Structures are given as C-alpha cells and as structure tokens.
Structure 1
Amino acid sequence: MPIVRDPLNPRLSMWHFLAFYLRFCREKANLSLTQCGEIMGVQRGTVSNFEAGRRRPQEDHMRALDKHYGTGWLFQLLLWFARMAHDPNWGKHLVKYEQETTLIKAYHGQVIPLALQTDEYTWAYVQAGTPKDFEAEMAERVARKNSFFSRGTEVEMWATIDESVLAREVGGSEVQKAQLEHLLAMADLPQVSLRIVPFKSGAHLGVDGSLQILSLGGRDIAYSGAQNGGRLIEMPGEVRELSVKFDRIGAKAASLEDSREIIKRYLESYE
C-alpha cells in the first residue's frame, strides 16, 4: 500500500515548510527514504515522519543534511526559525510530548496542574473558557490526565504551585473541597512531588506565567503558558533558561511536608 501522508501546507508554519522542503530536496536528489535515513542516522520510517510533520528533526539531523547537500547552514537555520516561530499546532505536539516524557516539571500560579485536577475542577475551567465544543474540550483534557496516570511510576511529576491557587474557589465550595482532598492524595503518590510557594515568600519569577519542562530521553523541551495559547520551546539554550527559572521558583517554595500542611489549612476552612 502507498504511504498516506497528512496534508502539509508550507504557508501554515515554519514546521510545515521545513517538512515540505525536506521531501523536496530528497526527491530532487533522487534519494530514497532509506538512503536519506542513512545520511541522517535514522530509520526509513523516521524520515517519513519528518517529511509528514509527525516528528521533528534535531540539530544533528540537519547538520548531516547540510553536509551531504552542500547547503552550508541552510537546514540548520530552517530548524532554528521553525523553533522560534509561532506554531499553530503547538498544542498537538505538547500532548504528544506529554505521552512520551519520563519527568514533568510544572509551575502554575493560577490553576492546579491538569494531571492533579479532579474532573469537576477541570469541568469548571472548561466552562469558564471559550471552546466551541465544551464536551470535546473536556474529553481531551480528561484523556491527557489519564495518559499520565496510566503509566504509573514510569513518569514523575514535580509540581510547584502558588498559594493563590489554593485560595481561589473554583466550581463552588464542594468542588474546591474535593479538589484539595484530591491534591493531598496526589501528593502521597510516589511519582508526584508537590510543593507550594507560600504568600509569605514574597516576589518570585512565577509571576511571568506557567511553565513546564518535559524530559524526553536525551533532551528536554519546555512549554511557556500565555493568553490565547502558549509556546512550545525546543531550543536547548532557552529550555535551560526555563529550567533554571523553575528551580529558582522552587527555591521560594515550602518543603514537601510544609506544603501538605498549607493544603490542609485551606481544607479546614471548608469543614
């Protein structure tokens, strides 16, 4: 059967353009997928995924192509621009990376991290948003939560949240109470490390917004939250900067045990 490729629009994003150009250059050079894979040091199927936009190449792949085609820095520059430009499909790729990661480091200053939410808490935020289909949005978020816990201890989460998240009543008192109870239960899981940045810690870098660092085998990628979406970051230097920022926020956080006590204190207000 012929290979069926997802349609690519090189005008949609730099990632689509890069995938389109990879295939264009390979076919112009009369190279098979297998031959191109030998040049890049990957399997035939990986090249196919690069050209279909299903997977993203790395620096060493682009360096090998530049050397083979004699294109100087062209492919490496295209990769750089793709990583720096806005990607309308960032959400789809973030979900894919979440399914592959072995460690999630997450900071949130406005909301409890999705993986640690009750369904009722999640639904309250879905209804507060502006999706065209609330049910579809809810199903997508629940699927993301389930993908985390279905892997058990294979994936860890180091979550840091601001105390203001605990103070904000979401979905009513019963929903918030159940969420705080759930948060304590999640904190007892061996794969979850949960710390709270208390109000008394003062100013910290978390004021700039939420962030995630995802460990994927030999490399890390990052996600920076923002209004009307977010930004997926794959440039190693920028990922390291966000990782340092996460650590500096964590330096302001309470210990694991003290964080549990802070959650319990808020839970007592609902008794």
Structure 2
Amino acid sequence: MSLNGKTAVITGSNSGIGLGIARELARAGADVVLNSFTDRDEDHALAAGIGKEFGVTARYIKADMSRGDECRALIEQTGGCDILVNNAGIQHVAPIDEFPTKKWDAIIAINLTSAFHTTAAALPEMRARGWGRVVNIASAHGLTASPYKSAYIAAKHGIVGLSKTTALETAEEPITCNAICPGYVLTPLVEAQIPDQMKAHGMDRDTVVRDVMLARQPSKQFATVEQLGGTTVFLCSDAAAQITGTTISVDGGWTAL
C-alpha cells in the first residue's frame, strides 16, 4: 500500500484524528500537508518532525476552514493534490430551539462547506494528474442521530451525501471518494474529558468509559487515530480502486444496532 510520490492534504490536522491520519499517510510514503487555522512555530515544527520521522516532505499551511476562499487557497498552495482528506470539524451541543445561530453557521461551514470548497479545487488537479483520492471524515452521526447535536449531525449527513455525489461525478475516472464514519475515538480532547465525566458520575475511569462514554459503542473500546489512519491508507491504495461512493464505519458496531 505504498503511496510514494503522492501528495496528501489533510484539513484540521495539527492534532487528534487529522494528525493520526497524516502520520499514517506519511508512513505509507506520501508527502503530507498539515493544516489548521493557527500559524504557530509548533505547527510548522510538527510538520517538520513528521517529515524527518518518515523521510517524506511535510509542510504546514494555515487556512481557516470557515472561509471558502482560504479552503481553495489551501489546495492551490499545495502545488498538486493527489489525496484530499477532509477532516476539519467542530462541535456544539444544545437543543434546537436554543442552538446559537452563529454556532450553527460555524459548524456547517467548517464541517461541511469546507469540504465542498477543497474538493472543488482539488478535482481539476487530480484530473490533470490522472489519479486522485478524496476521503471525507464523517461520523457515526453521519448515519444515525443523537439529540442536541443538530448542526453536527446535519453536517455529517451532508458529508456522506457529498461523498456520494463526488463519487458519481468521477466514477469513470481514476478518482474515488468515500466517507469514513468513526464512532468515539480516543484523542487528546476525549482523554481530557474523562476526569470530568468520572467526577460528574462518581465512577472510576473504566466504568465511566464503558457505561457513559461508550454506551452506544458495542465493542466498549475507543477507535484509535492509527486505525482511522490505516483505513485512510487502504482507501488510497490500489486495493480500493473500485471502492467509491460508500461509507466505512469504524465505530465498534455502533451503527449495527
């Protein structure tokens, strides 16, 4: 599953799932472009470290995924995009009638509209290069729903639909588009929530993880960023050349319920 000679752009990739995917793509030999909305020395150092560790070219490019012009500029600045991973996302929890309009607009912009802009900019480059892979990071919430997450669920359902349309528009070309639908993933952000959940529920770590955080995940285990990275590498490989327009759940059985 070598990706030598390919260039991958991963949005929202200076931490968590995006960083895990970037590392696995680099491990497979792809040059990688990391992205977030900040422009700190540590962002650029992170990319440099990945490049040194895996012997690939790794860069960091700042772009605010809430702005369509910056989404498109990210792809243009890459200088050639073979693999696009739309991962950037934010979350807010509130009842629909109390959901702040600005939060709704931001979640739709970053979680959904950004993927439209980056894909629209990347497809002409992929066609010119004669090969391409678009991998959209959706969610179990792109296939099912929970209360109080209206914007996130609407955006993730939208990402699944966008993936299908992209796949149909490129079906006769050597370009594929698929959506990965993770359940709960053990990221630093999730790890940091565990002590608060332990305190709120008066439970030890193992119990709060199993019975509260993973209540809907039948495996009772978090997915890992490495597993999501490995799934992405597979979708970018020749073995997955006829997999397009579908979803792959990495959710411990959540959507089987």
TM-score by length of 2: 0.30
The higher radius of gyration belongs to: 1
- Relative contact order (C-alpha < 8 Å, sep 6+): which is higher? 2
TM-score by length of 1: 0.29
Q: Which structure's residues are more often helix, by fraction?
A: 1
